[in-house]
Structure 1
Amino acid sequence: MTIPPDPPETSPAVGAGREAAAAAVTAWLSDPSRPRLCLVTGAPATGKSSLVARVALTSLRAGRAHAIFSARGMTLHAATWAVAEQLALPGGGPDSLVERVAADTRPITLIVGELDECGVRMDGADAGEIIGRLLSPLLELPHVRVLVEGRPQAVAPLRRHPAETFDLDEPSLTDRQGFTAWLRRVAARQGVHDPAVVEAAATLYPNAGLAELALRASPGEDVPLRWLRSVPQQAWPALEALAGAYAPISPQVWWAWTAALAGDAARGQEALSLARPLVARVGDRYTLDCRILRERIRGMRDAATAAQVAVLLGHALFTTLPAAGGAVDWANADPYAAAQILRHAVATGVAERLLEDLGCVVHADPVAVTATLEELGDRAPAELVRAWEFAGPALLETREPAERAAMLHLAARCTGGTGTAGRLAGHAAAAPWTTRWADARPGDSGAGRWAGPVEALAFAPAGDGGRLLAAGAGTLRLLSPVDGRPVGRSPQRIPDARAVLAFTDGSVLCLDGGGGLVNVRGVREPSGAEPLAERVRATVAGHRTAPLSALAADESGRGHIMAGDRSGAVHLWRPGDDDPGPVSWPLHVGPVTAVTCLRTRSGGHLAVSGGADGAVRLWSPGEEGVDGDALLQRDCPVTAVAGASRADGALIAAGWADGFLWLWHSSADRELVVRLGFPVNALVLTGDGVLFVGGPHGVCALDARLDRASRPAA
């Protein structure tokens, strides 16, 4: 993650004469020796967000930044999960994220935009908490650098840290000639040809937003107020409607809001007709794109009027929702209404009631749901809160409502929310995967048994009753694969398991964290004179190089044996070879973390390995060597791989430390991606697409619906 500095001349052209500011910010990003905090600030409408967005995009492509997100609408947990997702770390709270970042000392540069628009109302109200519990603790780590953009009052708590500050009110950061030339081009596009108007607007240098607004306002002080006074009074309801929006809105929502504020349909229609030429259009949606205008309109209301307007907008938005079978048809609702209605419900006091409708929850913007739950605190549904916090960044990154419902359904099962899980099942029916069962820590300590965290999994051969072996917390437990119910355990303590192998004769072999191989007693008395586990142990132990870090073997104990070690090498023993030594390949940079080998229906074999380098590699053991690119490469350690043979090809599954789960059907070239939100420590896969996942949460069984899987992106 160490990135060499790039010259400042790679800075993007940002317009409005801001090239000097862009070059200055880019120079900070390129020079790790400068203060580890950079603040981009300035008065409203100075172009802070636009500048940082352009620089951030260029920096991400150049590798100068590792995590970039806008804090707009976010609360503490959403901001934490956004950072975790981009750094390929598991979810959790801010404290656990800081601990994980502290444990990995690779350099990190984080860019946070629009901090002054965080919070459920997008008013910057949560900036202090995000700074105090997330950004400041990260800045205490010597390998972390942070760039934050926002108004002075939003970033003020960060000034206790040494910082390089770029204040866009400073004329030195804006070229006056470039600013004037840009303003003339804007005026021409807007049809403003009076040189006196352009010259008057240019006196607002270096504030680009106010200068552009001044082109449409009469001369004088207080540009926003002058602009508003130039608007026909009849258009005011339409502008008030747009001022209450959290994102661009459709004509349908704009009409409903305007009519509600105007008092009748005729006045609403007149207001819309007069306002359309004055506002911005984004595709088929409308917005009052100047934030200072939105704030000025809202600021002209007293508290009673503001509350009344909020109620009118919230009620009118709800009336746009279609109904089906006596309930809201969220799937066919206006996208803005579905995504943002919870923010309006917070303002009107009905958010608690709306959260009872899980259709609303899975169709809403996940950032809005997170903000709503945090805003409500103890008044939010407890089961939903536990499930939502468990799923974490997985929910923020899941785009389709059905998949979000599937993720939330799993989270509810894992946190003891049986009622919530039951109500989510229907919403998850269309997802490409679903939860069969989950054995996890109950939300209520007295709600049921829990087998504990899992470090390694194995599926005992069918002759052994089809039990699932789960190793974790020093114990090997036996679970029913049908429902996860505990059915036994080994009395032998197994510290820090890395792999568990179960053989047809009942013997079990465990690879521990130190690379040692242990025959596990008490699972079932092995049949035969020499346990198969002992045969495999002797074969592997006799050919040590670097300490072993991964192990797999045919359940018969007489087939292929595969191991990975801490040097990145993969070793393969083939039955029947005259030379008992393994064939070895250096496949990974850093330790091999997971291996598996499966026999195909045609009689061949496929070998799969994963490493701390984030790569998953697939090859046939019959090849002389292993070449080519990784099957999948991510910037996060692989923690588990699994495979299964089918009549129509092989299934390959892989999991990563951040909870990213990938299932690939080789012959159909179909893939399924699931973001679990918790680390994947172990995987077992069956030919019919049942995937058993072990991790700190316990074990869950997922049904993959391969007919709904997508083709990999080119």
Structure 2
Amino acid sequence: MTAGAWARPAAGREPAGAALLGWLADPTAPRLCLVTGSENSGKSQLLAWLVTHSTRPGTAPERRVHGFVPLAGQGVRTALWTLADQLGVAARAPGELLAELSADPRRTVLVLPDLHTATEPGALADIVGALADLEHVRILVEARTGHEVIAALRALSPAEMDLDASQWTDPARAEAWQAAHPTRHESTTPGTESTTAPVDLDDPVEVCAADPGQVTTAYEADTESRDGLRRAWLRAGQSLMRDQEPADRALVLLAALGDRADPRLSPPLERLAAGAPWRLVWSRVRGDVTPPWSGPVMALTVTSGSLPEQLLVADHQGTLRSLSYSDATPVGRLPGLAPDALGLVCLPDATVVVLDGDGRLHIHRAPTAPGPSGLAALLDDGPGAGEQAIETLSTAVTHTRITALGASEHAVAVADHTGRVYGVFLSDPGRLVAAEHLHEGPVTALAVADVPVAASQPDVSLVYSGGADGRVRVWGPGKKPMDVPVAERATPVRALAARMTASGLTLSIAWSDGLVEHRRLDAAERRTFHPGHPVNVLALTRTEELLIGTDELLTCLRPA
């Protein structure tokens, strides 16, 4: 058999296999296909044949399967997080998965066997129906004949294949196969009969070492709070479902606990997390009281220049707050609102700039910023360097929408929907540096870092850009961009942070599948973290603490 060739389906199921391949290739076919049949009718064998071949490298696009989740014994969350991980997105709930798939028009094929043995087949059938409403999504679902979920699936008007019907079998080939495989029956899908010992759901160390699917399914069915451990697990679930060391799970759980959890959970998790590449400095979680949760983190920056080092955050309602750097305690609020914030920077002269969802730049003034005094106050009646730089950038980008904003102590940069990046030096705020086309499609994140060259020379400002094309590029304004991306993956960039820290030039990247990468560029060191939520924003401090902002938490980590 040549490479790429498909073997015949087992048990004479060539007609069924050909029909499935025809369904995949037919643009007019129903987007949902339901495979039914009685026990031992060969459903699992047929789907295993399809998935085995359709997930191999080089498979033709019209035959390719992108997500495969056996549903036996699985709950909604377990299935959702497994599917999201395979599709390269971060999704806490069905709505987020639907939103991610809606925004990506590429063809997506999902295979979901054993729906009849899932713990919540009705709820999963609802999700199947919502996914099948997307024009570019095709779903193959298997359920045993006679199960009540069949009626819900038939209401979605699927293409249906009942393997008990004779038309789906070649009799001669089936007879030959049975002769070569006597007494063989359809194997039970893993998960329907578990012999795994039950997990102590009150023990944080045990749940970190156990099978994460088993723990998730148990917590889904549980009604006890488990002193806050259950809530933390389900909050960070997609991250915890990954194949990883118990120490890494312990770190994720620590960050997700919140102050409503029993404080006795933290010490054993801290001891277990000692083997992780990070140390948790602090974490603020939705619902925290001491200090109070400041809201979803839509944009974030660390103040610099004339201001004391604090955090500035924009929430989902447009409120701008300053938080203590040491523990995220709210210490102030900026006047005015910044609705739908996509980006936030604080310039050295205390000019606060917000990028909104419509691509407009808004200027605020930090209330604690020192103003000019004496003769300087009388003579200084014009806009400062920060305001001039923003005016220069706003004037330059009128042909398209600004999609990203970044700044350092010496430079400001914006980027647009076409993949171009623009820069202005604060030492010459009225002059736009020539724009560079760095990405195919929208730029989704920017960060600027000032890098010292020599004692007698000024710092060099480097602009790092991330795009929907899955690339991170670096550009020195006024110079030619590097040809090779700094990083590249098959998933869009969500956020960037870059800074000269105590460890040298440092770059952090958040990808749309939930991965956060932290790179010490001078030492070629890399470490990762998965918070379990879609990441909205990253920031770095001078002492290399990494701040991760999501809708559910704001976490501060330090490299171990």
- Asked whether the two chains share a fold, i.e. TM above 0.5, the reply is yes
1:355 maps to 201
Q: Percent identity?
A: 33
Partner letter of residue 271 of structure 2? G
2:312 maps to 469
2:130 maps to 137
2:240 to 381, 395, 398: 395
Alpha-carbon distance between aligned partners in 1 of 2:537 and 2:495, rounded to the nearest angstrom: 5
TM-score, length basis structure 1: 0.68
Decide which structure has greater helix share.
Answer: 1
Q: Evaluate the alpha carbon distance shift between residue 619 and residue 507 of structure 1 in structure 2; reply closer, same or farther with a 3 A threshold.
A: closer
Alignment of 1:220-369 (within 5 A): 290-291=187-188, 340-342=196-198, 354-369=200-215
Partner letter of residue 369 of structure 1? V
Partner letter of residue 274 of structure 2? A
Q: C-alpha deviations, 1:427-463, integer Å up to 9, x for none?
A: 22211223211223226xx665221122211111265
Alignment of 1:470-549 (within 5 A): 470-472=313-315, 473-528=317-372, 529=380, 530-545=383-398, 546-549=400-403
Work out whether 1:550 is the aligned partner of 2:401.
no
Alpha-carbon distance between aligned partners in 1 of 2:47 and 2:278, rounded to the nearest angstrom: 38
1:31 maps to 26
1:327 maps to none
Q: C-alpha deviations, 1:588-629, integer Å up to 9, x for none?
A: 233212111213343544321112333322345464244335
Alpha-carbon distance between aligned partners in 1 of 2:79 and 2:499, rounded to the nearest angstrom: 38
1:607 maps to 463
Q: Evaluate the alpha carbon distance shift between residue 99 and residue 50 of structure 1 in structure 2; reply closer, same or farther with a 3 A threshold.
A: same
**Which structure has the greater CA radius of gyration?**
1
Work out whether 1:48 is the aligned partner of 2:20.
no
Structure 1, unaligned stretches of length 5 or more?
A: 1-8, 120-125, 187-200, 202-210, 214-288, 299-309, 314-339, 343-350, 706-714
Q: Evaluate the alpha carbon distance shift between residue 32 and residue 535 of structure 1 in structure 2; reply closer, same or farther with a 3 A threshold.
A: same
Alpha-carbon offset, residue 34 of structure 1: 0.6
Alpha-carbon offset, residue 391 of structure 1: 0.8
TM-score, length basis structure 2: 0.85
Alpha-carbon distance between aligned partners in 2 of 1:100 and 1:647, rounded to the nearest angstrom: 37
1:305 maps to none
Secondary structure, in 3 states, of the residue corresponding to 2:505? strand
Alpha-carbon distance between aligned partners in 2 of 1:398 and 1:523, rounded to the nearest angstrom: 47
Alpha-carbon distance between aligned partners in 2 of 1:648 and 1:698, rounded to the nearest angstrom: 26
Structure 2, unaligned stretches of length 5 or more?
A: 373-379, 454-458
Q: C-alpha deviations, 1:288-343, integer Å up to 9, x for none?
A: x9439x99xx9xxxxxxxxxxx9xx8xxxxxxxxxxxxxxxxxxxxxxxxxx322x
Alpha-carbon distance between aligned partners in 1 of 2:269 and 2:442, rounded to the nearest angstrom: 40
Alpha-carbon distance between aligned partners in 2 of 1:703 and 1:167, rounded to the nearest angstrom: 56
Asked if 2 retains the 8 angstrom alpha-carbon contact of 1:67 and 1:83, the reply is: yes
Asked if 1 retains the 8 angstrom alpha-carbon contact of 2:44 and 2:187, the reply is: no
Alpha-carbon offset, residue 531 of structure 1: 2.9
Secondary structure, in 3 states, of the residue corresponding to 1:83? helix
Alpha-carbon offset, residue 419 of structure 1: 4.5
Partner letter of residue 544 of structure 2? G
2:437 to 583, 586, 590: 586
Asked if 2 retains the 8 angstrom alpha-carbon contact of 1:499 and 1:550, the reply is: yes
Alpha-carbon distance between aligned partners in 1 of 2:482 and 2:21, rounded to the nearest angstrom: 41
Alpha-carbon offset, residue 699 of structure 1: 2.1
Alpha-carbon offset, residue 22 of structure 1: 2.3
1:79 maps to 79
1:674 to 526, 529, 535: 529
Partner letter of residue 326 of structure 2? V
Q: Evaluate the alpha carbon distance shift between residue 688 and residue 178 of structure 1 in structure 2; reply closer, same or farther with a 3 A threshold.
A: farther
Secondary structure, in 3 states, of the residue corresponding to 1:504? coil
Asked if 1 retains the 8 angstrom alpha-carbon contact of 2:68 and 2:111, the reply is: yes
Bigger relative contact order, structure 1 or 2, given CA contacts below 8 A and separation 6+? 2
Over the aligned positions, Cα root-mean-square deviation in angstroms equals: 3.3
